[in-house]
Structure 1
Amino acid sequence: MSALSRYDRHCDSINSDYGDSVRSCGPEQEELHYIPIRVLGHGAYGEATLYRRTEDDSLVVWKEVGLARLSEKERRDALNEIVILSLLQHDNIIAYYNHFMDSNTLLIELEYCNGGNLFDKIVRQKEQLFPEEMVIWYLFQIVSAVSCIHRAGILHRDIKTLNIFLTKANLIKLGDYGLAKQLNSEFSMAETCVGTLYYMSPELCQGVKYSFKSDIWAVGCVLYELLTLTRTFDATNPLNLCVKIVQGNWAMELDNSVYSQELIDVVRVCLQQDPEKRPTADEILERPLLSRRRDMEEQVSLLNKSNKRPRPGTVNEAPVAVVTSRSSEVYVWGGGKSTPQKLDVFKGGCRARQVCAGDAHFSVVTVEKELYTWVNMQGGSKLHGQLGHGDRASYRQPKHVEKLQGKSVQQVSCGGDFTVCITDEGQLYSFGSDYYGCLGVGQSLGSEVLEPILVDFFLNEPIEQVSCGDSHVMVLTRSKCVYSWGCGEYGRLGLDSEDDVCTPQKVEVQRGLCIVSVSCGSDGSFLLTQSGKVLACGLNEHNKLGLNQCTAGIINHEAYREVPYTTSLTLAKQLSFYKVRSISPGKTHTAAIDERGRLLTFGSNKCGQLGVGDYRKHLGINLLGGPLGGKQVIRVSCGDEFTIAATDGK
């Protein structure tokens, strides 16, 4: 099917929706739930708002276009963006996920880029020029996106730094296709004068026909800005600006003492006055300057893996969007605070998506995947760099970990006096005390590390999940392998020994078992399998690992056999009656949730932490009823001698 026929098919599909209200959700139609985070900005046709999709915890943008107040042409432009985006699938192009009509409002669900746009990136540079390697990296991605849209027969017509978006990993995404136009062939010409004046080609300024080469001119303007941090053409009024563009009077000359002549030549050839002398996007990609093209393609693909999300095959299959106003605020109490206190730092785009606590410090990952840390010091305990701010100061208010700027933090876990986090790319960073080797770098940087360091052991083995105990660490890789390191006392590392290890060691798991999560307690560890079985290792004091065996009624056998500790992964047989969905170890007890949302507790009950209504010793697994009877438990966490559980509220 040709690009043009696909375009016509999508046009018919979009127009058939026009004016309809939200489609009703049929018995087999999927519902997707969204929570609003913050308004990102206002455009020519409407408003863009950041949402969190609860099903996969991803961030997306919903572009809201009020059609009632638009002219017929403006309506066509707004609808045109969906048509164009639905045709394009490329790692350097903003992804389209879904759309629907709600009365006279058109809503488009798009990929979110957490690094802002290229215009702001250039402004933040101030007078610090970009390294040539970075400019080439940006150029390759921009031209790759342009090549894709041109091959689809689409002319963008509004390429500019404001429409080039970035992720924190410096991945480029070309967006805003409201002014794009479909041409029948590479030789077709457009006539309408559209676009942003600073990036308009001479042929656009002169009002003559233009083609794909007009986009190449805009690419040249963007590249010029990357090299000089100034606009290519500037003037006090639009008329003078057009004159300068037509005459080719650049704002300043390019300095070949800073950048290679080869890179400067790309600017010159893109800004040729005669469109026929400008290269195509594919010709730019073939230039020797981009000889590392294959390596860069692989890097783009790798960086995109964490953002990949399938989109509906047809409009009729599109899921229904359900928006809720649920907020995520952070409260702290304990350690001298008897009532919960809200932390005002975490609101808007800085709302929390994950909270974690160590012995004396806290960590929060926000919805925009930034890491904040702070302390709750009692008695002036010494810090060891576990906050990651480059010093040992006691920051009592949440502070952004600047060293991780530009990294999208996916998850964090706090040890006793250290912190470990993973990024969207599966990279592992650690900081704080390395007394037991918990930072995973072979204790090569001393006993304390004050800023996040990359654990390069996992550069070729991306991490899916991390969990820290008081003095040990376990991770689950994306290939479902388990590694552990740190203090080995009582066999908590699952390595069949009690030795301490300061570099990641692979934990042998019985063949045929697929591990889906790891959870570290103070001196033990749990592994959860896909089938809901639980494996454990470490100290089993008070039966907090659930390893003790009760065999009452069996002749010539002990009714109850205690397992003090185990150095290798052992099946928690008492939990085998349940299909466990999640598990939370505390200092002296453990809580788990099964697939039916029921809460299970086991271990010490000295302070009533098992929730069974008394303080007596309980040998086995406790299935809690009482106030939790009939309720779906969705979260549980164990402290030293207390338990907190959350239900679904129904």
Structure 2
Amino acid sequence: MEKYEKIRVVGRGAYGTVYLCRRLADNKHVIIKQIPVEQMTKEERQAALNEVKVLSMLDHPNIIEYYENFLEDKALMIVMEYAQGGTLFEYLQQRNELLLEEEEILRFFAQMLLSLQHVHSKQILHRDLKTQNILLNKKKEAVKISDFGISKFLSSKSKAYTVVGTPCYISPELCEGKPYPVLKSDIWALGCVLYELVSLKRAFEAQNLPALILKIMRGTISPISEDFSEELRKLILSMLHLDPNKRPDISQIMAQPLVLQALMSLYTDQGKVTCRRIPKSLSNYSGQNRGRVSRGSSITSKGFFASYRHSSTSKTSPLQSRVYCWGGGISAPHLLPLPSSDTHITEVSTGRTQKAAVTKNGRLLLWETPSVGAEPSMPGATGAGGPAFIPRYLEGQSAVTIKHVSCGDLFTACLTDRGILMTFGSGANGCLGHGNYNDVSQAKIVEDLLGFEVSQVSCGASHVMAVTNEHDVFSWGRGDNGRLGLGHQESCCSPCRVPLMPETQPISALCGVDCSMLLVEPMSTLFCCGSNRYNKLALDRESEHVEEVHSFCPVQSLPLASQAIAMVAMGTSHAAAIMSNGECYTFGSNQFGQLGIPANGDNNMPTRVLSLSKIAVSMVSCGDTFTVAIMKDGKIYSWGKAARGRLGRLDCEDSQPAPVVFKDVGRNVMSVVSISCSHGTTLLGMRCT
């Protein structure tokens, strides 16, 4: 609390105390919710952590902004935006039975719709919408939704069963304990709030809980004053329909002429200066963007390409980062387009068809190669059609910051700065970790890992591994050869905790085609599982060959078994490791010269790449039959099978390590920040130094 000064207590709840505080850095007033986690049950602690996770994902002008959280005096402190206007409940109580004008009601309601649309777009169900959880700004014009303590991350299942929320606002299907369409429960609660705005009293009230439930089950409400339009009264009744399947969804509510006019007024009357920046598509209310308001609203695809073409041809703004690819028929390094010249790339990853990168500001960038008139080949990307290698930002990512990405075969996993893992793409083999085999077009949270802070993720051809900040390891996907490290060969479509030897502390995982590796502290040793064909896992001893292992065990081949390892990479049938002193060792199959050493017969033991001995190696990556290494001096070497441009160089007859030449770098000094090889393709991220 050294950064904040407490002013007064503004509320007390079941989980803790709420303080109004002043942030010393800028004298800004903030709210700090103090939750004594040590005194709570496991369920109560989970609810507190859930609120932090939900708030960190949401970024919308009509949702209370989350700043940070920290632990102090055995309590979780959640720092949030301060809404000076108090709650909507208090505002209505102060009316002294003087009804609101319909225009004001619709202005409030439109903002609630937009905020709830944003919440639902993140696959989150609020579950406790009520006037006490709806806050107002100082002028009592802007709505701020708050209190996400019992919110639920939606799974692929379409029904929910849990009875939660404030009794006066719970839906009839909840009262009956029946499974219900998850989003329609929030629509019922929003209908109750709208009724309260119109009548200044709750839709359902009774002296005791049984009587209240009976009222809700019957849908009995007092008549709405005829001072309000028939359209508004019909809208309320439709939202309070006893059959959840007959209640309108958010898009249907927004399409109502009455609401449409309120949304239009909201865009044009509030923030009069900035409304000029709203895309024309919003004024037409077409497609998925109907009625959506968010900070930093994305421009239309046409506007995006216009912006891109302008930036790519600008001579006054040199590129801050460059991304090159080769292989798959591209024989020399090919410069991929970036959205703008000031895009900073921090990491790249490539899969069988995907090419992805993470930017410095936390955006996930994807490149598509669609054919004319075809749908986007990259799941989760926006827009369609156009020339080869079209850059796209991941759709629906405005509220999260991506720090890490990994591509598998036809699917992708990305990790937020809050340790939340999201996946999208093909659901074959259960690689998305959502408990099923369904494809997902937009990034979706892996719910089973919400109770953990994931620090690193790796995607193989058909399985995934995730490492948490507590050094736990989870795996899922295809299980044959024991690649999941679970002690068996069964496949899993949900994350499963990997059993490890005591006192091992994994810091990173690496998934291959049919095997996996873990880099483990404190001695930077390597643990492996799965297929050890050609000794690509370095599990062989001089006189003993291991075919496959189903649980993680330490490498046995020297010198990997006795020296600290800085980095490791895996291809289809070979692997490479960089030792702590910068020496590069390769092992496994050398059928195409992918080890960078002379033909060695049946000897697949780790061997140093002597042609790289003059300068230390800083990075290495392996494809199917080739290897690429980055030297400390910035030079890039490749070797192995040269077919279809795998080596990125024209001297295709020599499979020994040789430099890759970049002809278009010019006078800029570029350094490699990330490299990724998959199948026959290489993706390289560089930045100007």
TM-score by length of 1: 0.51
Match of 1:519 in 2: 510
CA distance in 2 between counterparts of 1:600 and 1:261 reads 63
CA distance in 2 between counterparts of 1:450 and 1:294 reads 28
**Contact 1:385–1:450 (CA<8 Å) still a contact in 2?**
no
Instruction: Give the letter aligned to residue 517 of structure 1.
Output: S
Match of 1:148 in 2: 23
Per-residue deviation, 1:254: 9.4
1:568 aligns with 2:561: no
**Contact 2:135–2:146 (CA<8 Å) still a contact in 1?**
no
CA distance in 2 between counterparts of 1:89 and 1:640 reads 52
Report the secondary structure of 1:457's partner residue: helix
Match of 1:529 in 2: 520
1:647 aligns with 2:631: yes
Match of 1:585 in 2: 570
Per-residue deviation, 1:641: 0.8
Report the secondary structure of 1:436's partner residue: helix
After superposition, the Cα gap between the structure-2 partners of 1:570 and 1:346, relative to the gap in structure 1 and judged at 3 Å, is: farther
Match of 1:466 in 2: 457
Match of 1:267 in 2: 138
Match of 1:255 in 2: 104
1:485 aligns with 2:494: no
Per-residue deviation, 1:144: 5.2
Per-residue deviation, 1:399: 0.8
Report the secondary structure of 1:483's partner residue: strand
* Identity across the alignment (%): 30
What do the CA deviations read for 1:157-203 (whole angstroms, capped 9, x no partner)? 9xxxxxxxx997545669xxxxxxxxxxxxxxxxxxxxxxxxxxxxx
After superposition, the Cα gap between the structure-2 partners of 1:481 and 1:383, relative to the gap in structure 1 and judged at 3 Å, is: farther
Match of 1:396 among 360, 385, 389: 389
Match of 1:629 among 599, 609, 613: 613
What do the CA deviations read for 1:105-135 (whole angstroms, capped 9, x no partner)? xxxxxxxxxxxxxxxxxxxxxxxxxxxxxxx
After superposition, the Cα gap between the structure-2 partners of 1:506 and 1:264, relative to the gap in structure 1 and judged at 3 Å, is: closer
Where structure 2 has 5 or more consecutive residues not aligned to the other structure, the ranges are 7-16, 30-54, 60-64, 69-80, 89-100, 109-130, 152-317, 635-689
After superposition, the Cα gap between the structure-2 partners of 1:549 and 1:393, relative to the gap in structure 1 and judged at 3 Å, is: farther
Per-residue deviation, 1:539: 0.9
**Contact 1:385–1:448 (CA<8 Å) still a contact in 2?**
no
Match of 2:355 in 1: 362
CA distance in 2 between counterparts of 1:521 and 1:383 reads 29
After superposition, the Cα gap between the structure-2 partners of 1:294 and 1:452, relative to the gap in structure 1 and judged at 3 Å, is: closer
Instruction: Give the letter aligned to residue 566 of structure 1.
Output: V
1:603 aligns with 2:517: no
After superposition, the Cα gap between the structure-2 partners of 1:386 and 1:434, relative to the gap in structure 1 and judged at 3 Å, is: farther
Match of 1:24 in 2: none
Instruction: Give the letter aligned to residue 646 of structure 1.
Output: I
Per-residue deviation, 1:502: 0.7
What do the CA deviations read for 1:450-473 (whole angstroms, capped 9, x no partner)? 221111111111211000110000
CA distance in 2 between counterparts of 1:389 and 1:624 reads 40
Instruction: Give the letter aligned to residue 342 of structure 1.
Output: L
How many aligned positions are there? Answer: 374
After superposition, the Cα gap between the structure-2 partners of 1:416 and 1:612, relative to the gap in structure 1 and judged at 3 Å, is: same
After superposition, the Cα gap between the structure-2 partners of 1:424 and 1:578, relative to the gap in structure 1 and judged at 3 Å, is: same
Instruction: Give the letter aligned to residue 138 of structure 2.
Output: V
CA distance in 2 between counterparts of 1:545 and 1:639 reads 15
Match of 2:321 among 323, 328, 349: 328
What do the CA deviations read for 1:287-313 (whole angstroms, capped 9, x no partner)? xx99959999xxxxxxxxxxxxxxxxx
CA distance in 2 between counterparts of 1:507 and 1:294 reads 30
What do the CA deviations read for 1:375-417 (whole angstroms, capped 9, x no partner)? 4589x9x999753237997973121111222211111111111
After superposition, the Cα gap between the structure-2 partners of 1:602 and 1:504, relative to the gap in structure 1 and judged at 3 Å, is: same
CA distance in 1 between counterparts of 2:5 and 2:606 reads 49
**Contact 1:346–1:352 (CA<8 Å) still a contact in 2?**
no
Per-residue deviation, 1:262: 10
Match of 2:622 among 609, 632, 638: 638
CA distance in 1 between counterparts of 2:352 and 2:136 reads 58
CA distance in 2 between counterparts of 1:470 and 1:354 reads 19
Report the secondary structure of 2:396's partner residue: helix
Report the secondary structure of 1:255's partner residue: helix
After superposition, the Cα gap between the structure-2 partners of 1:616 and 1:454, relative to the gap in structure 1 and judged at 3 Å, is: same
Per-residue deviation, 1:263: 7.2
CA distance in 2 between counterparts of 1:326 and 1:391 reads 24
Report the secondary structure of 2:481's partner residue: helix
Match of 1:128 in 2: none
Instruction: Give the letter aligned to residue 23 of structure 2.
Output: C
**Contact 2:320–2:341 (CA<8 Å) still a contact in 1?**
no
Instruction: Give the letter aligned to residue 509 of structure 2.
Output: V
After superposition, the Cα gap between the structure-2 partners of 1:392 and 1:267, relative to the gap in structure 1 and judged at 3 Å, is: closer
Report the secondary structure of 2:428's partner residue: coil
CA distance in 1 between counterparts of 2:571 and 2:492 reads 23
CA distance in 2 between counterparts of 1:402 and 1:328 reads 22
Match of 2:284 in 1: none
Match of 1:434 in 2: 427
After superposition, the Cα gap between the structure-2 partners of 1:393 and 1:257, relative to the gap in structure 1 and judged at 3 Å, is: closer
Report the secondary structure of 1:619's partner residue: coil
Report the secondary structure of 1:368's partner residue: coil
After superposition, the Cα gap between the structure-2 partners of 1:384 and 1:584, relative to the gap in structure 1 and judged at 3 Å, is: farther
Cα RMSD over matched residues? 4.2
Match of 1:547 among 539, 543, 547: 539
CA distance in 2 between counterparts of 1:253 and 1:367 reads 46
**Contact 1:384–1:433 (CA<8 Å) still a contact in 2?**
no
What do the CA deviations read for 1:565-586 (whole angstroms, capped 9, x no partner)? 1111121111212201111111
Alignment of 1:489-504 (within 5 A): 489-504=480-495
Where structure 1 has 5 or more consecutive residues not aligned to the other structure, the ranges are 1-86, 93-139, 158-165, 175-218, 228-251, 271-288, 297-324, 551-559
1:452 aligns with 2:443: yes
Instruction: Give the letter aligned to residue 639 of structure 1.
Output: G
Alignment of 1:142-181 (within 5 A): 147-149=22-24, 169-170=58-59, 171=65
**Contact 1:384–1:448 (CA<8 Å) still a contact in 2?**
no
Alignment of 1:273-422 (within 5 A): 327-345=320-338, 348-375=341-368, 387-389=379-381, 396-422=389-415
TM-score by length of 2: 0.48
What do the CA deviations read for 1:539-593 (whole angstroms, capped 9, x no partner)? 111111111110xxxxxxxxx2221111111211112122011111111110111
1:507 aligns with 2:502: no
**Contact 1:349–1:368 (CA<8 Å) still a contact in 2?**
no
What do the CA deviations read for 1:250-298 (whole angstroms, capped 9, x no partner)? xx9993564469978863699xxxxxxxxxxxxxxxxxx99959999xx
CA distance in 2 between counterparts of 1:290 and 1:357 reads 39
Per-residue deviation, 1:337: 1.2
**Contact 1:385–1:433 (CA<8 Å) still a contact in 2?**
no
Per-residue deviation, 1:338: 1.0
CA distance in 2 between counterparts of 1:294 and 1:447 reads 29
Instruction: Give the letter aligned to residue 478 of structure 2.
Output: C
**Contact 1:473–1:486 (CA<8 Å) still a contact in 2?**
yes
Q: Bigger shift: 431-440 or 382-391?
A: 382-391
Report the secondary structure of 1:542's partner residue: helix
Q: Bigger shift: 369-378 or 563-572?
A: 369-378
CA distance in 2 between counterparts of 1:519 and 1:563 reads 20
**Contact 2:133–2:146 (CA<8 Å) still a contact in 1?**
no
Instruction: Give the letter aligned to residue 528 of structure 1.
Output: L
